Amino acid sequence: MTAPIPRDIPDLPPIPGHVVLPPTVVPARAVLIPARRRAVAVFRGLIALLALTGVAVELLTGGAPTTALSHFTIQSGILLALVMLVSARCAWSAHHPLPGALTGAALFYVLAAALVHHVLLAHASSPFAASDGTGTAWQTAATHVLHTAVPVAALLDWLLLTPAGRLHLRQAPVWLLYPLAYLAFSLARGELLLPGSEDRYLYPFLDVDQHGYKIVLGNALLIGLALYALAVLLVALDHIRPDPLRRPR
């Protein structure tokens, strides 16, 4: 048998002092249920398909697959395709979106590859411009896809379909860690390959045989400063652009 519940419960003594609960901030994602955005999911799926198509053409026509995979453009294109596929699934299934730091990094890398290509490699006045008529028609098409079509599509997705105000200035130096690691990889790869090997240095501004380490590191420093400025510009634009998902009151 259980003991009977007493009819009269004595009052508990009051808690001494004045208790003030600390203010709490509840993020919007904790109380707002994301809606299905199937048109956005389809668009991001098409971006991923476009990027993977360009990567596949480069792997099939660009010589050894290991050499093609060593290019910054190919690596950034694969990263963007993966991010877009996951983002498309989130939009289709009404899941919370990916962190802004990840989607911003994927956008930053494809824009960085496009900037280097159009300013240093494809511009006629650049000292590192590639000679005309190199590569097959398929390679030329893949180059335009990866350096123009994919970055423009990713930028439009960010401007028109992605919530604003998710990027922060502290993320800009973190994004530069991957290009810095790629620089170390490229120089180490060139040292491991035999002198005179084809594609020993994948980019002419990193060609130690032709320019020496002093000039190559100087080129890398200038490119790094330009990329940091690009990252800061993305963060600034993210905080001044209108939020495409905010409904007018």
Whether the per-residue pLDDT at 8 is higher than 80: the answer is no
Which one, of 56, 41, 49, lies nearest residue 80 by Cα?
Answer: 49
**Rounded Cα–Cα distance for residues 87 and 153 (Å):** 14
Residue 158 identity: W
Confidence of residue 61 (pLDDT cuts 50, 70, 90): confident
Confidence of residue 36 (pLDDT cuts 50, 70, 90): confident
pTM over 0.75: yes
Query: In the prediction, which pLDDT does 231 show?
Result: 97
Confidence of residue 153 (pLDDT cuts 50, 70, 90): very high
Confidence of residue 167 (pLDDT cuts 50, 70, 90): very high
The mean per-residue pLDDT over the stretch 27-37 comes to 59
Dihedral of CA 73/234/39/97: which sign? positive
Mean pLDDT of the chain: 86
Query: In the prediction, which pLDDT does 7 show?
Result: 62
Contacts of 117 (CB under 8 A, 6+ apart): 73, 143, 147
Confidence of residue 130 (pLDDT cuts 50, 70, 90): confident
Instruction: Count Cα atoms within 13 angstroms, Cβ side, for 59.
Output: 13
Whether the per-residue pLDDT at 21 is higher than 80: the answer is no
Alpha carbon of residue 108 to chain centroid: 5
Whether the per-residue pLDDT at 187 is higher than 60: the answer is yes
Query: In the prediction, which pLDDT does 17 show?
Result: 58
Which one, of 80, 79, 86, lies nearest residue 154 by Cα?
Answer: 80
Residue 97 identity: P
Q: Do the Cβ atoms of 172 and 228 come closer than 8 Å?
A: yes
Alpha-helical segments (H) within the chain: 28-31, 38-61, 65-69, 72-93, 100-116, 137-144, 150-161, 171-175, 177-192, 208-240
Straight-line distance from the first to the last Cα atom of the chain, in angstroms, rounded to the nearest whole number: 62
Query: In the prediction, which pLDDT does 2 show?
Result: 61
Residue 63 identity: G
Residue 210 identity: Q
- Among the ranges given (98-107, 196-205, 218-227), the one the predictor scored with the smallest mean pLDDT: 196-205
**Rounded Cα–Cα distance for residues 156 and 150 (Å):** 10
- Among the ranges given (29-38, 78-87, 127-136, 197-206), the one the predictor scored with the smallest mean pLDDT: 29-38
Query: In the prediction, which pLDDT does 126 show?
Result: 79
